[in-house]
Amino acid sequence: MKIMVAFIALFMLLWSSTGVYAETLEDRLKTLEEALRRQEQTIAEQQKMIEELKAEIKQAKPPATPEAAAVGRPAASEQMQQEVRELNEKVDRVVEAQRKTLPSEFNPSIGLVGETIFSYTGRGSSQTGSDRPGGFDAFQRSVELNAAASVDPFAKAYVVANASADAATGESTFNIEEAAIQTTSLPWNLTVKAGRFFAEFGRLSYIHDHELPFVNRPLVLDQYVGGESRTDGVQVNWLLPVEHYISLTLGLGNQFGGDVPPNNVGDYRRLGGWNYWGRLSSYFDLTPDISLEPGISGLWNPRTNGRGGPLLQPDGSTLTERERRLVGADVALSYKPLRNNQFQSITWGTEVLYSNNHYDAADSSGNVLPSSTVGSLGLYSYLTYKFHRQWSTGFLFGFVEDAQNNKAKAYEYSPYVTWALSHWNQLRLQYTYTDYNSASAAYGLHSNNAVYLQWAWIIGSHAHGWQQR
Amino acid sequence: MKAKLFYLLPIIVLTGIICMGTMPAYAAKIRVVATFTDLADFAREIGGDLVEVHSLATGVEDSHGVPMKPSFVPMMNRADLLVLVGLDCEHAFLPALIEASKNPRIEVNRAGYVDCSLGITPVDVPKTTEHYAGDVHPYGNPHYMLDPVLAKTAIANIYNALVEFAPQHKAEFTRNRDAYLAKLNAKITEWERETKPLKGLKFVSYHEHWPYFAARFGMDFFGTIELRPGIDPTPRHIEELIAAMKAAHVPIVVREPQFPEKVPKRIAEQTGATMVTFPVMPGGVPHTETYIKMMDYIVHTMVAAAQARK
């Protein structure tokens, strides 16, 4: 009985699979027939076209006397043959060019940037305020994936995803550093950008780390802006319709600064909880080789609602930020000789920032103290001299007063030399001496020396953007 | 009421000023911005008094490295036509300038974007755009303007764009173009006659500017001092180039003025070749303000250098 059942089951299985095969075979035959029919149709059309062309050529032949034809024939024929050869070559090249199939032709342009920092720092992280260890260190600061493309005739979009290593565990954390859409065809010289992006504020805040002229972001930008000017929001840029270059940018966003959390997370936020910023910049050609690019910027967050939590002071008291105000002025003076700008240039860039934040204060027991407004000043100034297509050198000076305690001051001095092997491969050696005053020492910060070797590379697509000019 | 007017009046005036500024100014002249001086020269010749032409480059710049000056932005913002070499020649500075200028008329694929390479069959189209080959141009060598016959394609493209923009002036554009072409054709015949003795002449240059020029006048473009396009020479490359030049008896080293003189001079000294400095666009060296003057200068200098060696 069992054998019988197994036999029937096997028969049914074979029968059903044969059926499927037959069905598939039939489909294939149909497809083949269809392809053959289309091919025949194409051949017929082409045959017809050839006949028509032949007829046209016959009609186009000029009536010539036998003598003239006999005399002119060899030269004309030779010339004709030459022209046909040239034409064939051209057609071959076009066909060759068209034959290229790009599997990625509908993908956005993609580039990957890597940046490794080898360093030696004279003191441990507790005395430098850095999240990196003192002594010898190797740090894959970032691996940045950039993708950009047009969305449609009215907008373009880009994404910058960044994986950076955790200082403690070494694990890389992947996050979206920028993801924004930008209009391309608004009237009245307007451009709107929305999403997550580096807001146009100051001179270097919106530049990615690996594109800075030196290894580390100046102290004042780290302190007052929060590193890069990252925000989630919207920004409008207007190129003024005058003959002189004047650009005005206004924006509003959720948070402002790479390391700064948004305020009022999970709570009710009024419009005052947003960050508002603006920038006005211009440009002057002093001579064909020398240019001046000034700008002013401002940032205002009327209601920060204790952004970042209570900030512990050396005496045990706390400050809680209630309002954030930041203004800045920047200027770049450049000498770029037109003839040699790939081989020689001098750029002097300076930015001065004034922070005027409002804080609620409490003593070490939590008793409320009178609130205060702390005005503090910071600046950086650098000079970069390019003396070869691949080589440049420079010096960065930085100064900053602590945004909560303007008595605590820090100075930085950094000579650096850059070797750009090509557009996509660059090494930079930098020495930095950071000098903290006694008021800073109360926060545990001590003067220290550091040497950095930065190696940055790019693979894939890269563009020379307007901001990196 | 008076108070309302007090506030309203400045707003109206300001709005008026802004609107006047943003309105397309129906100026008498067609505003043309050309990337390089040779294209600007052609636009002036064809457009005559009907056009106002600006060039981004002055002639002395590296054609791949014109500085992105913000002062170009308002000029491009008002342009009716943007005339460019194409084949990615301006990729290092033009896309960002176009974006910053916020002028939809001159964006890629719009009527005001005049790509003069349309109709050119490029040479040296790379099989790969991997960066180990240097800063290669994916569509081929873009320096076709140094062949005066191919430059006529650029003239045709500029003429077509002007006619399309202002068809009412077609007759004048045609007259100007024909007059210029007659002048240029006569010059081409002259240059071909002058360079006849140079057939097969070998030369090297700093950058790959000269394959079209060499092909037109029957010369042999032997190689470049640059290791790869946009990449400076390494000591080994210079050594190999010198050995190859000596073996092949290459008599001429061409140095383009935007590149340093030191290395070409050393190569010329070590190989016994003659170094000549050639502009790659009008204005690159003194007395080459127009395309014809520039080509005159190049041809005469090359002929003189070759004859001096005999």
Residue A468 pLDDT exceeds 90: no
In which band, very low, low, confident or very high, does the pLDDT at A58 lie, cut at 50, 70 and 90? low
What pLDDT digit, counting tens, does each position of B29-44 carry?
999 999 999 999 999 9
What pLDDT digit, counting tens, does each position of A265-307 carry?
777 888 889 999 999 999 999 999 999 999 999 999 999 888 8
Shortest distance between the Cα of A398 and any Cα of chain B, in A, equals 27
DSSP assignment, residue A201? -
User: pLDDT at position B117, please?
Assistant: 94
User: pLDDT at position B63, please?
Assistant: 87
Of A191, A239, A343, the CB nearest to B77: A239
Beta carbons of A239 and B100 less than 8 Å apart: yes
Beta carbons of B61 and A341 less than 8 Å apart: yes
Residue B264: phi and psi, rounded to 5, are -55, -35
Residue A186 CA: distances (Å) to CA of A183, A240, B278: 7, 14, 44
Residues with Cβ within 8 Å of B181's Cβ and at least 6 positions away in sequence, in order, are: B152, B155
In which band, very low, low, confident or very high, does the pLDDT at A447 lie, cut at 50, 70 and 90? very high
Strand ranges in A284-317 using DSSP code E only, listed in sequence order: 284-285, 290-301, 311-312
- Report the residue of A286, A466, A467 to disrupt the B interface, i.e. the one with the largest count of B CBs within 10 Å: A466
Residue B67 CA: distances (Å) to CA of A272, A289, A430: 42, 10, 27
Alpha-carbon torsion, ordered A168, A173, A178, A180, to 10 deg: -150
With 0-12 / 13-18 / 19 or more C-beta atoms within 10 angstroms meaning exposed / middle / buried, residue B50 is: middle
In which band, very low, low, confident or very high, does the pLDDT at B252 lie, cut at 50, 70 and 90? very high
Per the prediction, chain B carries an average pLDDT of 90
In which band, very low, low, confident or very high, does the pLDDT at A142 lie, cut at 50, 70 and 90? confident
Flag the least confident range among A249-263, A326-340, A428-442, B70-84. Answer: A249-263
Residue B217: phi and psi, rounded to 5, are -105, 15
Shortest distance between the Cα of B85 and any Cα of chain A, in A, equals 18
Flag the least confident range among A315-324, A350-359, B289-298. Answer: A315-324
In which band, very low, low, confident or very high, does the pLDDT at B23 lie, cut at 50, 70 and 90? very low
User: Judging by DSSP bridges, how do beta strands B51-55 and B30-34 pair with one another?
Assistant: parallel
User: pLDDT at position A44, please?
Assistant: 67
Spatial contact of A135 and A120, defined as CB atoms under 8 Å apart? yes
- B95 contacts in A (CB within 8 Å)? 463-464
Beta carbons of A341 and B18 less than 8 Å apart: no
Q: What percent of chain A has pLDDT over 70?
A: 79
User: pLDDT at position B275, please?
Assistant: 95
Residues with Cβ within 8 Å of B126's Cβ and at least 6 positions away in sequence, in order, are: B133, B136, B137, B138, B140
Residue A109 pLDDT exceeds 80: yes
- Residues of chain A by 3-state class (helix, strand, coil), percent to 5: 25, 45, 30
Shortest distance between the Cα of A165 and any Cα of chain B, in A, equals 28
Shortest distance between the Cα of B141 and any Cα of chain A, in A, equals 14
User: pLDDT at position A246, please?
Assistant: 97
Beta carbons of B77 and A189 less than 8 Å apart: yes
User: pLDDT at position A1, please?
Assistant: 47
Of A247, A343, A464, the CB nearest to B96: A464
Spatial contact of A277 and A201, defined as CB atoms under 8 Å apart? yes
User: pLDDT at position A103, please?
Assistant: 62
For helices B262-271 and B235-248, the axis angle rounded to 10 degrees is 40
Of B74, B232, B257, the CB nearest to A243: B74
User: pLDDT at position A165, please?
Assistant: 78
User: pLDDT at position A264, please?
Assistant: 73
Per the prediction, chain A carries an average pLDDT of 84
When pLDDT is averaged across residues A137-154 and rounded to a whole number, the result is 91
When pLDDT is averaged across residues A312-333 and rounded to a whole number, the result is 93
How many C-beta atoms lie closer than 10 Å to residue A110's C-beta? Answer: 15
- B255 contacts in A (CB within 8 Å)? none
Residue B121 CA: distances (Å) to CA of A97, A267, B127, B215, B218: 11, 64, 16, 13, 18
Instruction: Please give the residue of chain B at the shortest CA–CA distance from A185.
Output: B104
Specify the 3-state DSSP secondary structure of A469.
coil
Beta carbons of B70 and A187 less than 8 Å apart: no
Structure token pair of residue B44? 């002036």
- B70 contacts in A (CB within 8 Å)? 245, 247, 282-283, 293, 469
User: pLDDT at position B12, please?
Assistant: 55
Structure token pair of residue A299? 């940032």
In which band, very low, low, confident or very high, does the pLDDT at B156 lie, cut at 50, 70 and 90? very high
Which residues 94-153 on chain B approach chain A with CB closer than 8 angstroms?
95-97, 99-102, 104, 107, 121, 125, 131, 134-135
Q: What percent of chain B has pLDDT over 70?
A: 91
User: pLDDT at position A81, please?
Assistant: 80
A274 sits in which H/E element: none
Which residues 149-208 on chain B approach chain A with CB closer than 8 angstroms?
none
d(CA A436, CA A409): 6
Beta carbons of B21 and A240 less than 8 Å apart: yes
Beta carbons of A389 and B69 less than 8 Å apart: no
User: pLDDT at position A7, please?
Assistant: 47
Asked if B77 has any chain A CB less than 8 Å from its own CB, the reply is yes
- B232 contacts in A (CB within 8 Å)? 389-390
